[in-house]
Amino acid sequence: MKAAPRISRQGALFALIGLAGLALPLVQLRPNRIVPGEPLSLPAALGWPGWALALLLAAALLALLPARLPARAGLALAWPGALLSVLALGWAGAALIAPDAPLARVSPAAGFWLLLLAFALAAADALARLAPPLAWRWGLLLGTVLAGAAILSSGVLGDISVMREYQSRHDVFWREAGRHLLLAFGSLGLALALGLPLGVLVHQAPRLRGAVLGALNAVQTVPSLAMFGIMIPLFGWIAANVPGAAAAGVAGIGAFPALVALFLYSLLPVVSNMAVGLASVPQPVAEAAAGLGMTRAQRLWRVELPLALPVVLAAVRIVLVQNIGLTVIAGLIGGGGFGAFVFQGLNQTAMDLVLLGALPTIALALVAGVALGLLTAQAGPAPLERTAPA
Amino acid sequence: MTGRVALAAAALLLAAFLISPDSFAPLLEPLTRRGAPAIYTQTSLWSLTVSHLALVAGAVAASAVIAVGLGVLVTRDSGRDFLPLARMVTAVGQTLPPVAVLALAVPVLGFGDWPTLLALFLYGLLPIFENTLAGLTTLPPQVVEAARGMGMTPAQRLWRVELPLALPVILSGVRLSAVIALSTAAIGSTVAAHTLGEVIIAGLLSSNTAFVVQGGAVIATLALLIDAGFRAAEAAARSRAGG
């Protein structure tokens, strides 16, 4: 008989990452937004309250160690741990920025990201072991989003560099956010409007299948940078030379080219998953529906489409997550969205500005991915189908 | 068959273009305006292609080694505690946009090839790891039992039975990583990596459609060829594994 280990190895991993985070600098203090700065640990930034906070965080990390720790307890440690790390970051910012140095910047450093990673992994592990029911998972998602919004709007992080960038351009930020969502969701809507009927067609006329899916597959191989780039002259030409096109909103500049590029990338998952979903309807079910005297249209609407729904939702998830990421590239061709901040920041080597674009994109993609994953799980089991241009 | 002929033709065309881009100039000239050059000459297309492929190959090879290693670790008895976590991290990780990962690598590594290599490596881990898990956890139990019954050691079972059987699925993960990396590497040129994206960006900055088209066409052709190559390797591995 082997004695059961007293320390869980996952717990040891999380504690190790977190303690490394505490040992490394939590923040960087810089005289202004461009120059490199001075790394500071939590105690160095906050003095003795910093020591207390660091001890508290270390205690939470060590509490993750016992092998018999119930998943719920793990979650109960990880959640406040992550929250406390974020608050510590905000307090460090407030303590370090002197009122007479308005240009000084405090940005999160490696230590902060490691702490956050440790608690996020611990939460993920607890969730994976707990496998809570769907309603719980919706609640957790909603709670996390609300907590994030509360922290951001409370101003606790107001002295952190990314938030400084936000404050100096909050009008533009929300305009770009709206543009980002419009591009990601608009292209998804267009792809669904055209792709779902096309998927039904491909399913009912298998001879078309190879040609349609082959063409859409070829579209996916076009690198995103080139795809967005090609749309500008293409639609510029169409707007200039096709009568009525410009009046209909076709333009070579602005959001239109980006919308079309995203739409083209979205088609393959939608069409192929629609076709796969319909093909996966069990033969006896389809025959029973026919035996009930349903017409072909009735069978499609009442039997086959509802059964194909999970697979279609899986495609919606793929497309939405993919489009939220790809929309960043629209920023490079003047299409707007969070990418505008990313590329502007890269050009100015202003990393805070890069973060202002990259972090909301990541948050958006994560929330969209989790939410649609939950929706898909609610609709029933779905086979996997993945495609991913970058 | 027609597919193979088309691929061979594409490969020949690509080689011809890279060896002598100028002979394609008349084809691209209609896309230029006001006498702008039709062919990118700042850096030779050949050397950009080579460094683009080198970045992708280096990153994907590193991701493959690490991801398959991790996949093997968490499917052994001693590593199974990490399996649920590993699955969840992979699922969440794949929702992170590659462009954002690239942008976040810049503060850590500065401009140049390195942030691109890091982003490609990190992003490439996920599909390979996911497929390694899928391959190793869905082996027919009879086969694994039979290998055990034959007295194979765990290491022998892994190398002679489990990995060969999982190889087609693992390869399809590597294919996915390579195709994503090929496209993401182009974006790496926005942070000064030496890739074919440089040609596209030059085209965007100078409104020269010919540049955008040639950079895009070369990358897309490479993607098609690499995709086809991996699919052939998967088929070969599948028939060797007897399924």
Q: Dihedral, CA atoms, A362, A364, A369, A371, nearest 10 degrees?
A: 150
Query: Which tokens go with A221?
Result: 């191989």
Q: Look at B129 and A249; give whichever has higher pLDDT.
A: B129
Yes or no: say if B128 and B63 are a contact pair by the CB < 8 Å rule: yes
pLDDT given for residue A5 in this prediction: 65
Yes or no: say if B90 and B126 are a contact pair by the CB < 8 Å rule: yes
- In this predicted model, what pLDDT tens digit does every residue of A174-190 receive, in sequence order? 999 999 999 999 999 99
CB neighbour burial string for B166-182, b if at least 16 within 10 angstroms, e if fewer? bbbbbbbbbbbbbbbbb
Residue range A13-21: mean pLDDT, rounded = 94
| Rounded Cα gap, residues A53 and A72, in angstroms | 23
| Rounded Cα gap, residues A108 and A41, in angstroms | 11
- In this predicted model, what pLDDT tens digit does every residue of A50-75 receive, in sequence order? 999 999 999 999 999 998 888 899 99
pTM over the 0.80 mark:
yes
Decide if B21 is inside a domain: no
Yes or no: say if A109 and A27 are a contact pair by the CB < 8 Å rule: yes
For A:311-370, CB contacts with B below 8 A are 321, 324-326, 328-329, 332-333, 339, 342-343, 345-346, 349, 351, 354-355, 357-358, 361-362, 365-366, 368-370
Yes or no: say if B55 and B119 are a contact pair by the CB < 8 Å rule: no
Whether B98 and chain A come into contact, CB under 8 Å, resolves to yes
Triad A274, A280, A284: Cα angle to 5° = 135
Domain total in chain B:
1
Q: Which residue range forms the structural domain that includes residue B83?
A: 50-240
Whether B6 and chain A come into contact, CB under 8 Å, resolves to no
Whether A223 and chain B come into contact, CB under 8 Å, resolves to yes
Decide if A1 is inside a domain: no
Decide if B159 is inside a domain: yes
Query: Distance (Å) from the C-alpha of residue B242 to the closest C-alpha of chain A?
Result: 24
Residue range A20-25: mean pLDDT, rounded = 93
Residue A370 pLDDT exceeds 60: yes
Last residue of a domain, one of A139, A160, A181: A160
Q: Which residue range forms the structural domain that includes residue A276?
A: 170-379
Question: Which of A17, A217, A225 is the best residue to mutate to test the B interface, defined by the most B CB atoms within 10 Å of its own CB?
Answer: A225
| Rounded Cα gap, residues A246 and A239, in angstroms | 5
CB contact under 8 A, B224 and A333: no
Residues of A in contact with B178 (CB under 8 A): none
Alpha helices in B76-187 (DSSP H): 83-93, 98-109, 113-137, 141-149, 154-156, 163-187
Check which CATH number belongs to the domain holding A282 and give it: 1.10.3720.10
| Rounded Cα gap, residues B153 and A222, in angstroms | 47
Residue A314 pLDDT exceeds 50: yes
A182 and A143 in a single domain? The answer is no
pLDDT given for residue B243 in this prediction: 53
CB contact under 8 A, B81 and A9: yes
CB pairs under 8 A between A and B: 156
Last residue of a domain, one of A125, A160, A195: A160
Question: Which of A107, A221, A228, A364 is the best residue to mutate to test the B interface, defined by the most B CB atoms within 10 Å of its own CB?
Answer: A221
Residue A286 pLDDT exceeds 70: yes
Neighbours of A305 (CB within 10 A): 17
Q: How confident is the model at residue A30 (pLDDT cuts 50, 70, 90)?
A: confident
CB contact under 8 A, B88 and A222: no
Decide if B98 is inside a domain: yes
Domain total in chain A:
2
A203 and A275 in a single domain? The answer is yes
Decide if B134 is inside a domain: yes
Check which CATH number belongs to the domain holding B102 and give it: 1.10.3720.10
CB contact under 8 A, A9 and B89: no
Q: How confident is the model at residue A3 (pLDDT cuts 50, 70, 90)?
A: low
Decide if A17 is inside a domain: yes
Residue range A38-57: mean pLDDT, rounded = 92
Residues of B in contact with A357 (CB under 8 A): 103
CB contact under 8 A, A346 and B180: no
Positions of chain B with pLDDT lower than 50, given as ranges: none
A235 and A318 in a single domain? The answer is yes
Within 8 A by CB and 6+ apart from A52, the residues are: none
| Rounded Cα gap, residues A356 and A350, in angstroms | 10
Q: How confident is the model at residue A384 (pLDDT cuts 50, 70, 90)?
A: very low
CB contact under 8 A, A125 and B85: yes
CB contact under 8 A, A325 and B99: yes
Decide if B202 is inside a domain: yes
pLDDT given for residue B1 in this prediction: 58
Decide if B204 is inside a domain: yes
**Could you say which of B100, B111, B227 has the minimum Cβ distance to residue A325?**
B100
**Exposed, middle or buried by CB within 10 Å (0-12, 13-18, 19+), for A153?**
exposed
A359 and A225 in a single domain? The answer is yes
Decide if A4 is inside a domain: no
Last residue of a domain, one of A120, A139, A160: A160
> At A132, is the secondary structure helix, strand, or coil?
coil
